[in-house]
């Protein structure tokens, strides 16, 4: 009974953990440099890593942003590396995809910048796709259209076929608004397809996504896996590689590492473990690690 009485409430423990991450995020200067957005040729597909889980995709002649976060801070938590490209260098965006409401994936200030930039370039705002239950966070920002999806639902938007895929995570903006949906996306144009898993732990859904949708390129998370309890919602590098193999995709691009200090593992550890596991399985040539601002052309 004495031990139970002395145990800290969950909220107190969580705030203490977050404050430690915030303090550590300010200890070193922000590294890296932004570069000019690279545009691919007609008929090519481009995957540009912005940082963390943010990507600029060029597919089917359309421009797509997934989980775009350009902000230096998420309230108090500061990023460790600059975004690979800046909003001002990106062409007009056709559609924005947001995987869930967590602040390192849905950043209101960044979304407003994207809307302003696209309006300036094209005269109208982009569309946005969000999980069911997230629409209230973006409906008043000025997007031309707000579309919501649940797992396995599909929509045609900006000439692309977008399918929301399952994942193992959670979708709250704050601690208790658990009504919000979450998921990943497969974006398809003709025979070209890109899978962005969103945040997820390892689960048997990778194999099902592969069977149903057969994505060509897989963007998979490899960070924030320690302590081990975090693996209930995040994949370790080895689990990400396992998910990639079960998907059957041709190329894996790692994400969700190196930008924000979210887990307790060393910031440089996820890539080391990823490369070691890929080498062990003999698939190192199928893993493409992109620097911030670098573009994979397919």
Q: Is the dihedral of CA 257, 53, 91, 297 positive or negative?
A: positive
Rounded to whole angstroms, the Cα distance separating 288 from 296 reads 8
Q: Which pLDDT score, from 0 to 100, does residue 240 have?
A: 98
CA nearest to 107, candidates 138, 69, 79, 72? 69
Residue ranges of domains in the chain: 29-297
Q: For 95, how many CA atoms within 13 A lie in the half-sphere containing its CB?
A: 24
* 29-297 CATH fold: Metallo-beta-lactamase; Chain A (3.60.15)
Q: Which pLDDT score, from 0 to 100, does residue 176 have?
A: 78
Tens of each residue's pLDDT in the chain, 298 residues: 445 445 666 555 555 665 565 666 566 778 888 999 999 998 999 999 999 999 999 999 999 999 999 999 998 899 999 999 999 999 999 999 999 999 999 999 999 999 999 999 999 999 999 999 999 999 999 999 999 999 999 999 999 999 999 999 999 998 778 889 999 999 999 999 999 999 999 999 999 999 999 999 999 999 999 999 999 999 999 999 999 999 999 999 999 999 999 999 999 999 999 999 999 999 999 999 999 999 999 9
Tokens representing 284 are: 């190192």
Helix (H, G, I), strand (E, B) or coil at 6: helix
Cα 93 to Cα 177, 249, 265, distances in angstroms: 30, 26, 35
Q: Which pLDDT score, from 0 to 100, does residue 2 have?
A: 44
Rounded to whole angstroms, the Cα distance separating 107 from 91 reads 19
Helix (H, G, I), strand (E, B) or coil at 51: strand
């Amino acid at each position: 009974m004495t031990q139970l009485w002395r145990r800290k409430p969950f909220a107190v423990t969580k705030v203490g953990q977050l404050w430690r991450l915030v303090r550590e995020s300010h200890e070193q200067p922000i590294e890296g440099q932004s570069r000019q957005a690279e545009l691919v040729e007609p008929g090519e597909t481009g995957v540009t890593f912005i940082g963390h889980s943010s990507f600029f995709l060029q597919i089917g002649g359309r421009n797509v942003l997934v989980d775009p976060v350009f902000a230096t801070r998420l309230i108090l938590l500061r990023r460790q590396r600059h975004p690979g490209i800046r909003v001002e260098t990106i062409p007009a965006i056709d559609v924005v995809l947001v995987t869930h409401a967590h602040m390192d994936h849905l950043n209101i200030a960044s979304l407003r910048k994207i809307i302003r930039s696209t309006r300036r370039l094209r005269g109208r705002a982009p569309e946005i796709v969000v999980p069911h239950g997230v629409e209230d966070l973006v409906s008043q920002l000025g997007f031309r259209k707000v579309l919501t999806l649940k797992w396995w639902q599909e929509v045609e938007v900006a000439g692309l076929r977008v399918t929301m895929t399952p994942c193992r995570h959670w979708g709250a903006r704050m601690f208790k608004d658990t009504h919000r949906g979450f998921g990943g996306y497969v974006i398809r144009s003709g025979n070209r397809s890109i899978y962005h898993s969103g945040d997820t732990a390892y689960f048997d859904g990778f194999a099902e996504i592969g069977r149903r949708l057969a994505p060509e390129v897989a963007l998979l998370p490899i960070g924030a896996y320690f302590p081990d309890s975090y693996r209930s919602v995040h994949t370790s590098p080895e689990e990400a590689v396992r998910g990639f193999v079960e998907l059957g995709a041709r190329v894996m691009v790692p994400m969700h590492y190196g930008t924000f200090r979210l887990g307790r593992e060393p910031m440089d550890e996820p890539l080391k473990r990823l490369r070691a596991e890929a080498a062990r399985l003999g698939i190192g040539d199928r893993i493409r690690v992109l620097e911030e601002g670098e573009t994979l052309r397919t």
